[in-house]
Amino acid sequence: MDLQKLVQKTRGLVIPLVILIVWWLATRNDAHPSPILPTPEKVYASLLSLLNEGKIAANLQQSLAKVVKGFLVGIVAGFILGTLMGLSRTVEKLFGPLFNAVRQVPILGWIPLLILWFGQTELAKVIFIALGALYPMTLNTFDGCRQLKREYLEVAQVFEYGRLRLLWRFTLPSALPAILAGIRVSMSEAWLLVIGAEIFFKARGGIGDMMWEAKERVRMDVVFITILIIGLIGYLLNHAMTLLESRLLRWRV
Amino acid sequence: MEHTGTLEINNLNKRFKVNGDATPVLENINLTVKPGEFISIIGPSGCGKTTLLRLIIGLENSYEGEILLDGKRITGPGLNRGVVFQDHRLLPWLSVERNVGLGLEGKRNGNGNRKQIVQEHLELVGLQGFEKVHPNQLSGGMAQRAAIARALVNQPEILLLDEPLGALDALTRMYMQQELEKIWQRGKHVTMIMITHDVEEAVYLSDKVVIMSSRPGTIKKIIPVELARPRVRADYDFMKLKEEILEEFHLHAEKVFSYAI
């Protein structure tokens, strides 16, 4: 194994490792462990017991279920809206101003309305996540559909392509990089918002709820664990998207 | 079917609107291209040769006069005319095979038949074995071959080429000129109209060279090339004809110094 390669591949782990050591040194000699900064050993022990009890798996499953539903609804709606606005000036003029105005409301600003309309329900949370995924997906798809070069459009004209075949063979493939970027942003948005949803909508279950509950009980070790899990899942989702993109966009290289 | 591929241009005038004023781009163009002929249109940049080609393709509309293909007025693009652009315009997201098959997708012929037609045309341009490759993996010359194959799959009556070899390096270009001639001959002499700015290329390939002058674009002269094929670039008659055409642009040898910059 090439040593240089090994070093290059593991460079990203250096800073986390340093932080871990500093953390360990800082908490090593405490006679009375501080409630706000647990030792690494304590966090590790709690992690193992939580994993054994199945608590992490159960909460993670709840969170992911909401993310998947909201994300799918958001990207499908965003794809349709973005494509229609991208293809038709009329649709753009009809929906564009409203879309851009509504977009100015921060996602968190929808919480009161959603709670009053749908209550503290699973549906309210899914809508909340879907809304967050909708914006980037719509914008990226719209931009992508507008990017078809005139040169390619002329090729379609020369071959007498109708609207549908133009969309399928030219517009959408040429928009694919933008659409995938939209999916990527929507996905990370959905994952961020599920944590928010679980904290703000007072219904039980999920990683966000687990974190909030740990805060109430001043269980800093559990708070730490939930932060780590949220970060790790976000990282993995992003990484999966990167793999998908490089696979689907091989023709761009 | 013997007389398909006749192009007639009668009293063609074309203006472009620039800031409200209509500037003439093409003036009084008259040209007849017989089936199976290879015509080159040559002229300085800005002489409207590309506009003329785009009118024949059908990508430019609104003109005065007539452009008739087999007696029918051209009103828009159609599959009876194949087009090769200077930038090959292969779709980067499709394999060579799929790019070449683009023109067949609307057809109701079976999948197997379509595959066979694509294969035949890939063989015609010498690209067999590159079916699954994407355009970004091709060299300039190969990409242009694929573009030629794509333009020919529908068996157009006329192939319109807009400086097809202009972006290639000198050696590849000469090689591709030979290839283009072979394709033309093997393709049962499809009518070809090629825009070029390369005099030697025009003489090498064409039955007739149409010389245009600019502002507004008019046909200055049509020079028939009656040399036996395959032509030899170093031939005396070849050189003489080349010189004759260069003279039309005031670029022939005796005056060369007065134009040196």
With CA atoms as reference, the chain B residue closest to A251 would be B93
Q: Kindly state whether residue B39 falls inside one of the protein's structural domains.
A: yes
| Contact state of B79 with A159 under an 8 Å Cβ cutoff | yes
Is B233 contained in some domain? yes
Q: Which of residues 38-57 of A touch B (CB under 8 A)?
A: none
Q: What's the farthest any 2 CA atoms get from each other in chain A?
A: 81
pLDDT of residue B260: 47
In this predicted model, what pLDDT tens digit does every residue of B222-235 receive, in sequence order? 999 989 888 988 88
The arithmetic mean of pLDDT across residues B31-56, rounded, is 90
Selection from A163, A134, A133 nearest residue A148 by Cα: A163
Answer whether residue A6 is part of any domain.
no
CA distance B217 to A198: 71
Residue B251: pLDDT band with limits 50, 70, 90: low
Specify if B213 maps to a domain. Answer: yes
Q: Is residue B2 part of a domain?
A: no
Q: B70-83, pLDDT tens digit by residue?
A: 888 888 898 889 99
> Residue A230 has what pLDDT?
94
**Predicted TM-score (pTM) of this structure:** 0.84
Give strand pairing partners of B82. B159
Contact present, A63 and A201 (Cβ < 8 Å): no
Q: In this complex, do A157 and B59 lie within 8 Å of one another by their Cβ atoms?
A: yes
Residue B133 with chain A: CB contacts under 8 Å? none
In the three-class reduction of DSSP (H, G, I as helix; E, B as strand; rest coil), residue B209 is classed as strand
Residues in B touching A250 (Cβ below 8 Å)? 134
Of residues B57, B93, B105, nearest to A158 (C-beta)? B57
pLDDT at residue B1 tops 50: no
Flag if B91 and A158 touch (Cβ within 8 Å): no
Distance CA B257, CA B251 (A): 10
CB under 8 Å to A182, separation ≥6 — which residues? A75, A78, A79, A82, A136, A137, A138, A139, A140, A141, A144
Query: Cα(B115)–Cα(B189) distance, rounded to whole angstroms?
Result: 23
Percent of chain A surpassing pLDDT 70: 98
A195 part of a folded domain: yes
Residue A121 in any domain: the answer is yes
Q: Give the mean pLDDT of B188-198.
A: 87
A161 at interface of B, judged by CB pairs closer than 8 A: yes
Q: Does B199 touch chain A (CB under 8 A)?
A: no
Host domain of residue A112: 51-252
pLDDT the model gives residue A8: 83
Whether A170 and chain B come into contact, CB under 8 Å, resolves to: yes
Residue B139 inside a domain? The answer is yes
Q: What is the pLDDT of residue B256?
A: 46
Q: Give ipTM to 2 decimals.
A: 0.86
Residue A44 maps to a domain: no
One-letter amino acid identity for A219? R
Smallest CA–CA separation between A159 and chain B, in Å?
5
Distance, CA of B29 to CA of B37 (rounded, Å): 18
Listed in sequence order, the DSSP H helices in chain B are 49-57, 96-100, 111-124, 140-152, 170-186, 199-205, 236-248
CB contact under 8 A, A155 and B105: no
Q: Nearest C-alpha of chain B: how many angstroms from A170?
A: 8
Would you call A147 an interface residue with chain B, using a CB distance cutoff of 8 Å? no
| Surface of A (183-242) touching B: CB under 8 A | none
Domain of residue B215, CATH code:
3.40.50.300
Q: Detail the DSSP E strand segments found in chain A.
A: none
Asked if residue B107 has pLDDT above 70, the reply is no
Q: What percent of chain B has pLDDT over 70?
A: 91
Q: Spell out the residues 6+ positions from residue A70 whose beta carbon is closer than 8 angstroms to its own.
A: A125, A126, A127, A128, A129, A130, A132, A133, A190, A193, A194
Q: Do residue B134 and residue A170 have CB atoms under 8 angstroms apart?
A: no
Domain total of chain B: 1
Whether residue B1 is contained in a domain is answered as no
Any domain includes A31: no
Q: From first to last of its 253 residues, what are the pLDDT tens digits of chain A?
A: 678 888 888 888 899 899 999 988 888 876 676 777 888 888 999 999 999 999 999 999 999 999 999 999 999 999 999 999 999 999 999 999 999 999 999 999 999 999 999 988 889 999 999 999 999 999 999 999 999 999 999 999 999 898 898 999 999 999 999 999 999 999 999 999 999 999 888 778 899 999 999 999 989 999 999 999 999 999 999 999 999 999 999 888 6
Give the per-residue pLDDT at A1. 63
| Neighbour count for residue B139 (Cβ, 10 Å) | 11
- Spell out a b/e string for A5-19, using b for 16 or more CB atoms within 10 Å of the CB, else e: eeeeeeeeeeeeeee
Q: How many domains does chain A have?
A: 1
Residue type, A103: R
- A212: CATH: 1.10.3720.10
Please tell me which residue of chain B has the smallest CA distance to A151: B89
Domain of residue B82 covers 7-259
